[in-house]
Chain A
Amino acid sequence: MNRFLFIYYFIAVVLTTVTWGCAPSVPTSYKEAAGTVAVSPDNFGATLPPNIAPLNFHIMQGDASEAVTHLHSRNGGELIVAGWDVCFEEDEWHQMLEQTRGDSLYCDIYLKAYGVWEHLPTQRFYIAEEEIDPYITYRLIRPSYVTYEELTINERCLENFDERVIYENIRFEDSEQGQCINCHMPHNWNRDAQSQFHVRQNLGGTVFISGSDATKVNLKTDSTLSAGVYPAWHPTLNLIAYSVNETGQVFHTLDPQKIEVIDYASDLILYDLDANTVQHIDRTASEFESFPSWSPDGRTLYYIAARYTPRAEDIDADLDSNYDQLHYNIYARDFDLQTRCFGPRRLVFDAESLGKSASVPRVSPDGKYLLFTLADYGQFHIWHKSADLQLLSLTPDPSPMDEAAEALNSPESESYHAWSSNGRWVLFSSRRDDGNYTRLYISYFDSKGRAHRPFRLPQRTTDDDDLLLRSYNAAEFMVNPVQPTQRQLRKVIQSDARPAVYAGSALLHPEADSTAHTVSLPTERRSSTIAY
């Protein structure tokens, strides 16, 4: 027995010595270097939630032969990582962030080149007091044109790197008919485990998830342009406002923006989940309405609309030639919670007068700010390099806050965005990395209404982003994970969709509603699969 104890002791000593010897340490002698080192992704300077997964990064090697990264805070905690791929141990990272709430986290990088250690200027993260919602959901899609394969709606835990597929379309793909899936939208950040997403073409319908159950509804009626497209859940009532769109894609021959996604007609509808009825909200014949969004109290519906006067009989050809003449403004309609009727519309933001076009209005959870995307024209801004996020103060009078969102933007497209449940974090899509593949960025939004420098969605390794030839699409925050399994969802999708019933207008004064569009036949270039 004693002999075995000795052996165990010996092994323990050897292992400890080896481990201690291998543990990286901060160089004791070094010289100060000017300039900065290139890292990917470069998140330095960003404000981080205290519960975020480790912000691993890669140091570009250059002439150096060794690298040591030292992460430390004022209250004594430190993490040291050697090598070019800086991957922090999750528990230690979380412990460090917890200790550093409301304070700065410092990052020192030391590089050894030609036998001499150099210390690069200290970088900093700021750790916010407020936590971020633990989950996000998004679609992974190739930045494609009209084909679609292997689309997945995913759920990712922001506190670690766990990612799971909620639903993927490959099962129901065949050479005859594909299946598109899009717009997974949770209700109230999935607090009550309610969400919805669309299935197009093969086995099409809108899937409503409630707890671990799901149902499929066909929102297309004879009186509406299409099935529901861009959704907006009412915060308190069992209602969803949708846009209904006839959308198509046309292709640039030369411009690196590559695609124009154009609505050839669009309206707004209101779907009552309990009554299974669809009502029109806005179907002005000379206007294209889209991207509805509720205020947090549910008393106002914001949306975008563009005036369109056909210059030729062939609307498709006319819009293809004049796509850059379509400018969307932001409008709002008051909503009466008792009568469930909408009042007259009012202009909230006149983008047209600025020669611009607004899209995706989203009100902050405190109701004070409207975050939207502004570009030169159109409404599908992910393909527009001019697209930037803009803020509008809603109180007391709507006024633009040009500088407040400055930190969010880049020369490339910034587009689809979502507020966290506490209103302190903004999740948005950006093509800043290469102009083509959308990545998710998260920014702290402080109580003074100012967005801080964002950071890229943390990944286990840099390769996870660099080598992934897919885009993150239509991301939303969630406080709870989605419950049904893929198997359950597949079963629901294979079942027949319950048809929704058309129930007229949801306007307080329907007579004010001008003549509806004539529903035109879809043309070849109109597509049900768009990568927002």
Chain B
Amino acid sequence: MKHRLPFTLVFVVFAMTLLLWPLKPYLVETAALTPFYADEFTFGKLFCTHCGLLFQVAAGFQSCFAYPWLGAGLFVAVLVAIAYVQRWAFRVGDNWFGICWISSFALLLNFTQLGYLIYTLKHPAVAFAPALGFLAAFALIGLWFRLKEWWWKLAFLLLIPAVGFWLLGFFGVLVAPFVGFCEMGIARFKQFDEPSSVGKRSFRRPFRGNDTPHMLWGLALFFLGLLLPSLLQLVLHRHLDWETGHIPFGNLNREMRLPWILALAVPLFYAVFRLDGKRRWTAAVSAIVFVAAGAAAYHYSFLDHNFLNTLRMKHASEAGEWNRVLVLARENKQEPTRAQVCLTRLALFKTGRMGDELFTYPEGAAEYNAPQQNQWLRLMIGPLLYYHYGKTGFAYRWAMEDLVEYGERPAYLRYLYNVALLNGEDALAQRYERALARTLFYKSSVAHICASETSKESEFSSIRPLLNYTDQLDGDDGLVEFYLLHSFALSEGGSREMVELSLMNSLITKNLTGFWPRLLALLPTWQGHIPTHYQEAALMVAQLQGGAPVSDLPIDPAIGQRFQRLVQASAQNGDNAANAIALRPEFGTTYWYYYFFVEGLKTN
């Protein structure tokens, strides 16, 4: 006991800190991507699919990540239980207890390593399903070694493969071959250890006191464990699909499968090597292994700053905390991804600060730190951007496409619901409302269930002015930012908000064709103060194209003088590259600098 508590405490502190500090937004996002519905309809279908029970329970636990303390607490509790159950099942001595934590660290890492892949992994509960599955499997293996009567063992052999696959999928199938493997291992122990203690572990062996028959017995159990589920499947539940979806590998690359395999391999190690020694060095080895496993779990966890910051910005956007989005954007010290840039621009638009501040925020096109350069922007924030920019058809479309591809995740249902409500499709909204009301933690997304009906109306009121355009047939090929930029930059007319978006997006795309009509249309709405970037653009366009009425505009003299300094300085510094470096300190936050020196940004 004295060795167990420190291991446990260290693991709990480590795992909780990792999950609740850097990975907190990841937990919240994981919850939104977990399809868990608590109602009779879902429970009625629980036993209709293989692994149904495990997936449903695991998804229920995983949806608790919506409250990170609760979800992390549950997850860590399951991982702690895995270590203890392993110790119990395989009779691991206290000195070797550190080894039992390898599976727990591996299963923690199995979840924390995913990063962007959490969006594309088609699995209902990637964190909890393997954890609970292994826990159940280890507990059943432990039970086998504690069954004394042969009829209990026989019942176990028949029942676990038959029902196990049905309820637990792969993990149910795992038990019987594992037991067989352990039985073979016991034969091996027998050669080196006292036979009496080994004998206690196995039940009426066909040939007592002989190692070879014992090995054969284990081998028979092993193959029986493999074959029985297949045979029983043929006879009992033909409707179940044997081949699909037991192991949550999905599109994980090989390296990312290692934690999962490690979690499985360690208990096999127990079967081959007996870990009940009491020598002092064993405790040291155990502690070293524990620390190494923890270090590896931390090292290989996906703690990418851009990823986590994007999630924080996304969650702030979903909560309508636009100022917080801007604070997060400002605090970012790395080159941002396009997703962060898009969220920043959206927040600036929502707060009415777009014209004054847009080019003062970090610009960039950092690659997404993911195995493939997928459509991460679309997957993470596509529906959010389209919804808030009034392209409701496309918000609905991508939420639906992803729902089809990745399952009925609350993250998608929220946008389907919002768009239906905004479109006035009340019956459709009610359908999604019913679906969201079945979740544990996303009922508040539903306007009339939560107290925030007024906040929903205020959200809609900021989007409605952007719906003032003629519908058209279009396609974006998943290039959300590119589509939004160009659709606004090329649009004409509409509400004040739409004209400002078309002005700003034409500036961003450096398409100055419609600059003056848009600027002049907006002029009366600014009541004397033209936002800074538009003043900068007006001076620049007048300089480049000539003949524009700049003198009639209320241009801030300071901005005018700054522009003159830019013109003079750029003439002195020589080529464009030299200018870009030299002018950045003074002019890096102006539209001029963006227009002349920020190039080659890859949208999406």
Which A residues form the contact surface with B (CB < 8 A)? 142-149, 170-171, 175, 250-256, 258, 260, 320-321, 323, 433-437, 461, 463-464, 466-467, 469, 524-525
Contacts and interface: CB of A to CB of B under 8 A. Distances in A.
Contacts of B39: 463, 467
Interface string B434-449: 1100100000000000
A463 B431 CA distance: 11
Contact of B431 (A148, A260, A437, A524): A437
Contacts of A148: 404
A251 B398 CA distance: 11
Given A146-B401, A148-B404, A463-B40, A434 B391 contact: no
B123 to A, nearest CB: 13
- A143, A170, A435, A525 — which one has the most chain B CB atoms within 10 A of its CB? A435
Contacts of B241: 170-171
A434 B475 contact: no
16 contacts: A142-B403, A142-B404, A144-B404, A170-B241, A253-B391, A253-B392, A255-B393, A256-B424, A258-B393, A258-B396, A434-B428, A435-B427, A435-B428, A463-B40, A469-B431, A525-B475
* Category for how many chain B residues contact A: 35 or more
A253 B389 CA distance: 11
Nearest to B438: A467
Interface in B405-449: 405, 408, 420, 423-425, 427-428, 430-431, 434-435, 438
A524 B401 contact: no
Closest 9 CB pairs of A and B: A434-B427, A254-B471, A250-B473, A434-B428, A255-B471, A144-B404, A147-B404, A463-B41, A252-B393
B399 to A, nearest CB: 11
A252 B402 CA distance: 18
Contacts of A171: 241, 243-244
A91 B400 CA distance: 40
What does DSSP make chain A's interface, helix, strand, loop or mixed?
Answer: loop
B454 interface: no
For the complex, would chain B's binding face be called helix, strand, loop or mixed by DSSP majority? helix
Given A251-B393, A253-B394, A258-B393, A143 B400 contact: yes
A149 B400 CA distance: 12
Given A251-B394, A253-B391, 8 more contacts: A149-B405, A253-B469, A256-B423, A258-B397, A320-B473, A321-B473, A433-B427, A463-B40
Nearest to A253: B393
B251 interface: yes
A469 B430 CA distance: 12
Contacts of A469: 403, 408, 431, 435
Nearest to B372: A175
Contacts of B475: 250-251, 525
Contacts of A461: 41
B397 A251 contact: yes
Nearest to B423: A256
A256 B487 CA distance: 19
Contacts of B122: 149
A466 B434 CA distance: 8
Given A434-B425, A435-B427, A252 B472 contact: yes
Contacts of A323: 473
Contacts of A463: 39-41
Contacts of A436: 420, 425, 428, 431
B477 interface: yes
B255 interface: no
Contact of A253 (B244, B405, B474, B477): B474
A89 B402 CA distance: 40
Q: Of residues A253, A320, A435, which shows the largest number of chain B Cβ atoms within 10 Å of its Cβ?
A: A253
Contacts of B467: 254
Nearest to A321: B473
A226 B425 CA distance: 37
Interface in B442-497: 467, 469-475, 477, 487
Nearest to B400: A144
Interface string B32-46: 000000011100000
Contact of B404 (A149, A252, A433): A149
Contacts of A147: 401-402, 404-405
Nearest to B487: A253
Contacts of B430: 434
A524 B475 CA distance: 10
Contacts of A149: 122, 404-405
B248 to A, nearest CB: 14
B431 A466 contact: yes
A293 to B, nearest CB: 29
Contacts of B472: 252-254
A376 B397 CA distance: 23
A175 B391 CA distance: 28
A435 B420 CA distance: 10
Contacts of B243: 171
A320 B474 CA distance: 8
B290 to A, nearest CB: 36
Nearest to A146: B401
A126 B244 CA distance: 47
Given A254-B467, A254-B471, A467-B434, A145 B244 contact: no
Contacts of B404: 142, 144, 147-149
Contacts of B396: 258
B397 A145 contact: yes
Given A142-B404, A147-B405, A175 B251 contact: yes
Contact of B41 (A255, A260, A320, A464): A464
Contacts of B438: 467
